[in-house]
A and B are shown apart, each in its own frame.
Chain A
Amino acid sequence: MHEIKLKYQGKKMAPAFNAFHTFLFTPNETTHGGTHVKAADDLKRTMNTVIMALIPVLLFSMFNAGYQHYAAIDAANGTPRTLSFFENFLTWDNLRIGIIKVLPLVVVSYGVGLIVEFIFAVIKGHEVEEGYLVTGMLVPLIVPVDTPLWMLAVAVVFGVVIGKEVFGGTGMNILNPALTIRAFLFFAYPTWMSGDKVWVHGAVERAGGSDAISGETILGSLAQNADVSYSVSDMFFGFIPGSVGETSTLLILIGGLFLIFSKIASWRIMLSAVIGSLVMGLIFNQVVELGWITETSKFYGLMSFEFWKHLIVGGLAFGIVYMATDPVTGSRTNRGKWIYGFLIGFISVMIRVFNPAYP
């Protein structure tokens, strides 16, 4: 390997080669002389830690993709199933759906994103940066399970180029690339990113047929002032429909704690975002309590939703733990982190309630 590396040193493709080399092997060069700071927590280590925190979420989401698919079919057939973790959740059938639906999203996200990163590194002549390792894992987890792969690919190209590379690459971006990708998808292909079908595999292609199934999320039902049939424990453990990886609050919580203990993510942002969302939720609950809006209001369903439940449905918890704590686009000072986090929680819940287009 080392000979190949020397051979290509200074050549055009050197950054691409170096990226693979340092990813797969420990480089055998040492520097001579001078003073060094020896720290193991370089960018690559940081990124890998976040990915480790995401792996449980990804695995869960693969089973959940299948579970929601079969559960929706059962419900449509008039035999709603009761959850039994070992009997009908942790099954090969569920995993199979996860493998055909979720894994391709991961592969496309990484494949396309890394190709863009490599092209820019080669053109600009700098080393390939590790920033995309986390973005590439976040992206498949925040899209609906039935997102067409080509849409994801287009959005990844857009997000990485416009969200990051035009500003100078990892560390210079003013936008979180994963969020840029998600926002692009939402505005570009709204029919695939919201509504009552895309959240459960199969609901789109079966729509209108005799075997139609529902793909409605909890927030979607609430926005229509409909009843929610999921229990609090379902919401917390994540046996609910939603974007691929955001359903299990428990696993997100574990991932979050892991990130806090490994000192990768800021607990201040997480805590203040939680407080912010609770405060906004309480305000809405209070509005209902005081009778300022009636049951006929289109906001009634979401406003009367108990304030703490906002944390266990939808992507709020996922966003707080994995997106808000992005060290590049987040705030630096401690006071800034408190304000930043608080506003994230506060505004997220406000938009969640008032945005009519919200899934």
Chain B
Amino acid sequence: MALLSKKDANLIKDPLADNNPITIQVLGICSALAITAELKASVVMAVSVMFVLGLGNVVISLMRNIIPSKIRIIVQLIVVATLVIIVDQVLKAFAYELSKTLAVFVGLIITNCIIMGRFEAFALGNGPWRSFLDGIGNSLGYGIILVIVGFFRELLGSGTLFGIPVLGDPIEKTGLYSTGYENNGFMIIPPAALIVVGIIIWVQRSGNPALVEEN
């Protein structure tokens, strides 16, 4: 027996590829550009967004029939702000260094278009279970791009993955560095994320021409 019905499974599968929040809907770009210089930060950001979006979708979905539509944006903001503060405090308590790297961008999850977009477009009109799956699906789609971008930027820019040197020591000149290889400083700066995301979009659309917009 399948764990999820086909319809429910699509809620998770679609945002991973053909309806990806970053590469197709082009939402949540700011954080994708800002914090992906390190893989660790990307993963933590992805998990944080998953927590906020998954839970937020459930909460909004449960309240969807009692929220007056005139003030729904404010209610949504309160829900997302509460969840973001929880994430922020947890990070500060248990991963202080990391929370400093992420700095303001954890707080800015509140303004992440993906979250308000899913609240508006999905949670207000669907039950809690389906909203939960939708939230997980979209945050996974967001997270997977963050991790891919973070992987390439950290590997090429710093020669490390999760802070562990994988290409040798750039100062002692061991491993790949002994051949004259050097880290690519361009990958550290935010414009590189724009280009990496652009290349992902390019690769994805040339694999599936149906995604290319008519203009």
Binding site for B on A (CB under 8 A): 148, 150-151, 154, 162, 166, 184, 187-192
Q: How far is the CB of B111 from chain A (nearest CB, A)?
A: 28
Task: Give the residue of A150, A166, A184, A191 whose beta carbon is less than 8 angstroms from that of B202.
Answer: A166
Residue total for B at the interface (Cβ-Cβ under 8 A): 11
Residue of B nearest to A183 (CB): B186
In the assembled complex, 20 residue pairs joining A and B whose CB atoms fall closer than 8 Å, in A order, are A148-B180, A150-B181, A151-B182, A154-B184, A162-B195, A162-B198, A166-B198, A166-B202, A184-B186, A187-B185, A187-B186, A187-B189, A188-B184, A188-B185, A188-B186, A189-B182, A189-B185, A190-B185, A191-B182, A192-B182
How far is A150 from B185 in the complex, measured between Cα atoms in Å? 15
Establish whether residues B184 and A189, one from each chain, have CB atoms under 8 Å apart when the complex forms: yes
Q: How far does the alpha carbon of A344 sit from the alpha carbon of B196 in the complex, in Å?
A: 29
CA distance in complex: A209, B181 (Å):
22
Using CB atoms, name the residue of chain B closest to A191. Answer: B182
Residues from chain A with Cβ under 8 Å of B185 in the complex = 187-190
Q: For A188, what are the chain B residues with a Cβ–Cβ distance below 8 Å?
A: 184-187
Chain B residue numbers with a CB within 8 Å of A150 are 180-181
Residues of A within 8 A of B189 (CB): 187
What residues on B are CB-neighbors of A154 within 8 Å?
184
Extra A-B contacts (20), CB below 8 Å, given A150-B181, A190-B185, A191-B182: A148-B180, A150-B180, A151-B182, A154-B184, A162-B195, A162-B198, A166-B198, A166-B202, A184-B186, A187-B185, A187-B186, A187-B189, A188-B184, A188-B185, A188-B186, A188-B187, A189-B182, A189-B184, A189-B185, A192-B182
State the CA gap A189–B156 with chains docked (Å). Answer: 12
Q: Complex formed: what's the CA distance from A191 to B181 in Å?
A: 13
4 interchain residue pairs of minimum CB distance: A188-B186, A187-B186, A188-B184, A188-B185
A166 smallest CB distance to B (angstroms): 7
Chain B, 162-195, contact with A by CB distance < 8 Å: what is the 0/1 string? 0000000000000000001110111101000001
**A150, A187, A189, A190: which has the most chain B beta carbons within 10 Å?**
A187
**Which residue, B185, B187, B198, has most C-beta atoms of chain A within 10 A?**
B185
- Complexed CA–CA distance, A184 and B180 (Å): 18
A220 to chain B, nearest CB (A): 20
Cα distance A191–B195 when bound, in Å?
Answer: 22
Nearest A-chain residue to B157, judged by Cβ: A188
Chain A residues within 8 Å of B187, by CB: 188
A240 to B195 Cα, complex, angstroms: 37
**Docked CA distance A166–B195 (Å):** 11
Closest chain B residue to A161, Cβ basis: B199
Which residues on the B side are within 8 Å of A190 (C-beta)?
185
A180 to B204 alpha-carbon distance, docked (Å): 24
Closest-by-CB residue of B relative to A154 is B184
- Please measure, in the bound complex, the distance between the C-alpha atom of A211 and the C-alpha atom of B185, giving whole angstroms: 30
> Cα distance A92–B187 when bound, in Å?
41
Q: Which A residues lie within 8 Å of B184 (CB)?
A: 154, 188-189
Bound-state Cα–Cα, A244 to B193, Å: 31
Kindly report which residue of chain A lies nearest to residue B187, judged by CB atoms.
A188
* Cα–Cα distance between A150 and B177 once the two chains are bound (Å): 13
A148 to B182 alpha-carbon distance, docked (Å): 10
Residues of B near A192 (CB, < 8 A) are 182
Please give the distance in Å from B13's CB to the nearest CB on chain A: 29
Instruction: Provide the bound-state CA to CA distance between A189 and B183, in Å.
Output: 8
**Nearest-CB distance from A191 to chain B (Å)?**
8
Q: Nearest A residue to B192 by beta-carbon distance? A: A187
Inter-chain CA distance A188–B187, complex, in Å, is 7
A332 to chain B, nearest CB (A): 23
User: In whole angstroms, how far apart are the Cα atoms of A274 and B134 in the complex?
Assistant: 59
Q: How far is the CA of A191 from the CA of B170 in the complex (A)?
A: 13
A151 to B198, CA, bound (A): 22
Residues of B within 8 A of A189 (CB): 182, 184-185
CA distance A188 to B195 in the complex (A): 14
Among A150, A151, A188, A190, the one with the most B-chain Cβ atoms within 10 Å of its Cβ is A188
A151 — which chain B residues lie within 8 A by C-beta? 182
In the bound assembly, the distance between CA atoms of A22 and B151 in angstroms comes to 44
Which chain A residue lies CB-closest to B195?
A162
A148 to B184, CA, bound (A): 13
Bound complex: CA A183 to CA B198 (Å): 18
